[in-house]
Structure 1
Amino acid sequence: MRERLPVFAAALWWGGLSAIGFVAVPLLFAHLPTPAMAGNMAARLFEAQTYISIACCALLLVISKKKHGEHQEPWAQAAIVFVIAGLLLALLVQYGVAPRIIARQNLRLWHGAGSAMYLLQWLCALRVLWCTTHR
């Protein structure tokens, strides 16, 4: 079970980011009556995804060390920097960028920054998934 846990956490992280960012949110904007309604629902989905990202990254950090050992698991040696970067990006988007988008401050700048950070987090999660499945 312990050897499969990193794959599960990485898959949940990457899959959640993919489903929310590339499927659910575009569908909201395509099918809800107003952009404001879609934006409000999208903000809630992104917030939920942030909590999933935090949980998955925290779990990956905890299980990155061998049990009763000082050395990292083989998958973690290549992935740990991407776990930390992805966690930081999730926190930055949720607590730094999202409030500015909701407040409609310089919307084009903050939406672009948030989208870029979300994509970078997605790439981090993909790299971690790759590292956990290719030992």
Structure 2
Amino acid sequence: MRVGETLIQTLWVGSVWTVGYLVAPVLFEHLDSRAMAGRVAGELFTLVAWLSIVCGGLLFAGVVRDGIQNKGPRLRGALIIAMTALLGASEWLVRPLMEAARLPDGTPGDGFAMLHGVSAVLYLLGSLTGVWLVAVGVDRQDRGRRIEGVSGSGR
């Protein structure tokens, strides 16, 4: 994996984990209004979803480039697509339904909790896919170093 791809992947996976598991819980813990915490968290999740489109697209372009060069990183490509799709589905399929399930005063109405749960599961699966994506990259780099070390030792 090239340095630029490593930086993009770090930005993407890091932002997913930071917003979902550090920032959002802190908002709900420290803001006086749960509605305000939800609105701010929702805006941050929207930013993460857009970042997913950009980073996922750039990383997938690298996978396509490597595939054309017959390096064939199929698992990496599948993980990038899966992570982008899971985070995108949470934002653009489930979130509008969640908003529709709110009462006129902004409080959660019927079905909101179930939809929130679906969104949370999709986000969790996207987050875990990100960990897998990082692990695949680390494994590829380790294998490359071992191969270089073996071929370089006989000189």
Flag whether TM exceeds 0.5 (same fold): yes
Residue aligning to 1:15: 14
User: CA deviation digits over 1:89-125, x for unaligned, max 9?
Assistant: 1221111111122222511110100000000000111
1:88-107 matched pairs, under 5 angstroms: 88-104=85-101, 106-107=111-112
Q: Contact 1:50/1:91 (CA < 8 Å) preserved in 2?
A: yes
Shift of the 6–131 alpha-carbon distance from structure 1 to 2, 3 Å rule, reads farther
Runs of 4+ in 1 over 6 A off after TM superposition: none
Give the gaps of 5 or more residues in structure 2. 102-109, 141-155
Q: Contact 1:57/1:84 (CA < 8 Å) preserved in 2?
A: yes
Q: Contact 2:63/2:76 (CA < 8 Å) preserved in 1?
A: no
The range that moved more, 99-108 or 123-132, is 99-108
User: TM (normalized to structure 1)?
Assistant: 0.88
Between 1 and 2, higher relative CO (CA 8 Å, sep ≥ 6) is seen in 1
Shift of the 43–62 alpha-carbon distance from structure 1 to 2, 3 Å rule, reads same
Q: Within 1, Cα distance between the matches of 2:5 and 2:137?
A: 6
Shift of the 102–122 alpha-carbon distance from structure 1 to 2, 3 Å rule, reads same
Q: Contact 2:15/2:48 (CA < 8 Å) preserved in 1?
A: yes
How much is the aligned-residue C-alpha RMSD, in angstroms? 1.8
- CA drift of 1:72 comes to 3.9
User: For the pair shown, which has the larger CA radius of gyration, 1 or 2?
Assistant: 2
Residue aligning to 1:61: 60
User: TM (normalized to structure 2)?
Assistant: 0.78
The range that moved more, 109-118 or 98-107, is 98-107
Q: Within 1, Cα distance between the matches of 2:67 and 2:123?
A: 35
Q: Within 1, Cα distance between the matches of 2:29 and 2:51?
A: 25
1:27-46 matched pairs, under 5 angstroms: 27-46=26-45
Q: Within 2, Cα distance between the matches of 1:67 and 1:134?
A: 17
Shift of the 116–67 alpha-carbon distance from structure 1 to 2, 3 Å rule, reads closer
- CA drift of 1:70 comes to 4.4
Shift of the 68–47 alpha-carbon distance from structure 1 to 2, 3 Å rule, reads closer
Q: Within 2, Cα distance between the matches of 1:47 and 1:63?
A: 25
Shift of the 87–72 alpha-carbon distance from structure 1 to 2, 3 Å rule, reads farther
